[in-house]
Amino acid sequence: MNQTNDTSRDRQERRGPGFGPRGGGPGRGHMIISGEKARDFRGTMAKLIEYLAPYKVSILIVFLFAIGSTVAAIVGPKILGRATTKLFEGVMGQVTGSGEGIDFEYIGNVLLLTLGLYGLSSLFGYIQGWIISGVSIKITYQFRREILEKINRLPLRYFDKTTQGEVLSRVTNDVDTISQTLNQSLSQMITSVITVIGVLVMMFSISWQMTLVALLMLPISMGFISLVVRQSQKYFKQQQDYLGHVNGHVEEMFGGHIVMKAFNREQESVETFDEYNDTLYSSAWKSQFLSGLMMPVMNFVGNVGYVAVSILGGWLAVRQVITVGDIQAFIQYVRSFTQPISQIANISNILQQTAAAAERVFEFLSEEEEISDTETPIAVEDVQGKVEFHNVKFGYQPDKIVIKDFSTEVQPGQRIAIVGPTGAGKTTIVKLLMRFYDLNAGRITVDGHDIKDFTRQDLRRMFGMVLQDTWLYSGTIMENIRYGRQDATDDEVIEAAKAAHVDHFVRTLPEGYGMELNEETSNISQGQKQLMTIARAILADPDILILDEATSSVDTRTEVLIQQAMNKLMENRTSFVIAHRLSTIRASDLILVMNEGDIVEQGKHEELLAMNGFYADLYYSQFEFAQAD
């Protein structure tokens, strides 16, 4: 099958008048109400945890190494406190003359033990980070793969109402946000919780009075955290949403920048961008400002705690309830206690942003998919090409019917031309035939079989399509033509290129068939691109051919050559030709004249002219315009 992208006329039928996202149609994307909150934080996080379930063994190992790393780090200050106490006692003994001096051997052994513990803690921390990074990468890979597979299962009507930038934002920004959280915050969350518990135990083992003073700082911290989280959550959600809007607008404007400049719409494009960007700036600034308040306030609360603990510790040391080393160890523990509390506070903020991103991903993954293929598909080895439309009714939206009551019968090998004014439903007919959309009513059959009885893949394999809007991808010319049949040899590709009159201009290019087309395929002309898509259809050698104004982008001389190639290609093959220039379809076996979704006339060229009806008006009007020019 050849290219399957929409034609500009068909998009206009669906989207209505306007330019870009200001057109008022579904191309604008989903607008998000300012300040909207994530609808289901718990449900979203529960789904995210389900994705982690297959890696529970790895996460358990991370948990164990986190415990080991944290315990080693927690025990360090307690042991180091012994060295401080021994040093203090030795100095005081020398001052008073009542001791033997400083025991450097004991202090050295304590320092070596402490160094070993901190080294072990770092090693365990590295191992847990390495494991969790692997889990994060696998989850990210799974998300992106599921999104890509979902894209292929979504009906085209979804993309009628959603911009490409919206979809790209889910694949890139939202998944990256989830990945960073899993990679950086998950292990930090485990470590922080264990650290808080372990440090709390060690603090109580030193002095319950000092511990209570330190704990008095927690209600103040938690109250502030709760306030910030409630306020920042809605802004993180809004930030993710409008990041998609900005991406969508930039992608759309960049893709059509020539048209945009031709109609002097730069200012309107900038105004639309500013509208989205201002909202993104506002939500991003507010979310970052609120989350940025956490660390300064937490540091201030922590410093107040240090002062209170130091005063109480000095008083207890004077009364010889605790040693100087215990005070030093306790102050270290207070710092170790407030730091993970701060990290947990920061992580809670990150989780809000992650939930907003994950919610958008899960919303996309839960979008309604196209109707599943039949479980008992039929397979036709020799396709004859008989096509019948039985009372077909269809609308891109249920309340806006485009095809009202379409019925016709096409015999094998016939050349069928579909003509009519813009918006009559010509391109829609062939899209229904290839089952890009499902009917509202009626049925379409190929060789007597309902198209729903085929798998979509088998059905579309019968067709070759050449559209007015060319689609080529970044790759060599050889690869782009071979897209029609992947197992084709180089010689077969070249033969198809010769039949489509591509070979002669390709050989004038610097690298011939090996020339790389750039991302926008702007390094060859529009006419050359059209010729290549025709070569692609010739290579595919389909049973049924669809040509949608296939020669619209070539000059008159080339059109004659292409028409000859098309005539040869259409021999003994059922062909549907959508044409605006009626002079090109005079030799058709049957001409279907459409207007407002109905067949108003049908017959051969001479018969339709003799009827002196709608077709005759269309035909003669083109010659009148040509003479006027």
- pLDDT, position 92: 66
End-of-domain residue from the set 299, 330, 365: 365
Helix (H) or strand (E) holding 325: helix 324-365
Question: Is residue 425 domain-shared with residue 489, that is, in the same domain?
Answer: no
pLDDT of residue 19: 32
One domain, residues 94 and 198: yes
- Looking at the fold, whether 215 and 298 belong to one and the same domain comes out as yes
Q: Residue 162's domain is classified under what CATH number?
A: 1.20.1560.10
Q: Please give the residue range of the domain that contains residue 477.
A: 471-541
Could you tell me if residue 25 is left (phi over 0), alpha (psi between -120 and 50 degrees) or otherwise beta? beta
Asked if 457 and 475 sit in the same domain, the reply is: no
Domain membership of residue 605 (yes or no) is yes
- Residue 377 in domain: no
**Positions in the chain short of pLDDT 50:** 1-37, 625-629
CA atoms within 13 A on the CB side of 563: 18
We report the CATH number of the domain holding residue 486 as: 3.40.50.300
Quick one: pLDDT at residue 623?
61
Residues 450-489: b if buried by 16+ CB within 10 A, e if exposed: ebbbbbbeebbebbbbbbbbbbbeeeebbbbbbbbbeebe
Q: Which H/E stretch holds residue 179?
A: helix 175-180
* Residue 80 Cα distances to 85, 336, 509, angstroms: 9, 15, 75
Domain count, the chain: 3
Classify residue 361: in a domain, yes or no: yes
**Within-domain flag for 36:** no
Whether 613 is covered by a domain: the verdict is yes
The answer as to whether 13 is a domain residue is: no
- The predicted pLDDT at position 189 comes to 79
Q: Tell whether 235 and 331 lie within a shared domain.
A: yes
Q: How far apart are CA 545 and CA 572, in angstroms?
A: 11
Same domain for 101 and 128? yes
Instruction: Answer yes or no: do 530 and 549 share one domain.
Output: no
The reported pLDDT for the residue numbered 320 is 77
**In the prediction, which pLDDT does 29 show?**
34
Q: What is the pTM of this model?
A: 0.61
Domain contains 34: no
Residue 162: what pLDDT?
78
Task: Say whether both 297 and 331 belong to one domain.
Answer: yes
User: Is 618 part of any domain?
Assistant: yes
Please enumerate in sequence order all residues whose Cβ is within 8 A of that of 528, keeping only pairs 6 or more positions apart, or say none.
502, 505
**Using one digit for the tens of pLDDT, what is the confidence trace for 206-263?**
888 888 887 877 777 777 777 777 777 778 777 877 887 888 788 777 777 777 777 7
Residue 355 sits in the same domain as residue 296: yes
- Taking the C-alpha atoms of residue 143 and residue 309, their distance in angstroms, rounded to an integer, is 48
397 and 450 share a domain?
yes
Residues 396, 6: Cα–Cα separation, whole Å? 13
Same domain, 419 and 484: no
Q: Verify that 265 and 187 share a domain, yes or no.
A: yes
How far is C-alpha 345 from the geometric centre of its chain's CA atoms? 29
